[in-house]
Structure 1
């Protein structure tokens, strides 16, 4: 029962939520919809060649997600493929973005996974919320290769990591999230 409930709790909000937003976009006669998905929609693919960057051609393998009970990634994969079904039917022009982590000022009222990850790292590795003494982010050479080439071709540019972390810290401090409990 626990696994079944967890499966529903993670898949249904992603799929139903995406479907509801796309239906609202249809009613509003939106011209283009940008679906902010997740790296989870592309990263679970054991058959993808290790030397090839993961891009819009790579999807998480649904069977692998089910086998490993990775229902978050399964939900994101199903939701994104449903979004592309809307596009195939000509109902909406859809573009998706699959970020691995979102760092910066929180736009939502509650802490999401990215914010929780960074907040945990800040509380464990930084001495003072306004003075960074130890930046625990490191670059890893042997991790999965992900492509943002098409976004960059459209003019999208990375923000400096330091700038994003400073924005996050200031926002977390304003919300009282850096206080020790």
Structure 2
């Protein structure tokens, strides 16, 4: 679909996802207005949209805000509005990839979800452009994008064979995968991992 000069407002334009969203919108011919989310909170923006009879609003959030709190996430568990992520656990989670690349003796017995920021931005655009789109959509827990750390280590080794990575899992406990499919053509997991590592190298967090 071509934007054909249609005007769209984007909040939080200085954010990582929003920067990609703006780039893709401009490529599709949209005119983009920016709103400072720090000044106008989400509820105020929605109230203003209602008053102005805006026909469609797309709100994006991350499961990272709720799921990293140490609670078990088995298939019978429902993550609801009572869940909030722990700052300490979030800090530990973001260090896992760096630990693997720093030649940690083991890798975690965990499966993690991957989604490319470009896919998030494109999903926002498609949620706006498709007239039938309504309700809530998730870009998480897809079969092809949920990977155990053993698979991640294998992919990294294939991309960077000179790295000496551990082949040992931290324990031998079974892990129950949890995922839901969503019909979108995702960026391949290999590209997600490669671009993550290249970004860490570029910013000086790792070197090899």
The structure showing larger relative contact order (alpha-carbon pairs under 8 Å, at least 6 residues apart) is 1
Q: Which has the higher helix share?
A: 1
TM class by shorter chain equals: 0.3 to 0.5
Larger Rg: 2
TM-score by length of 2: 0.31
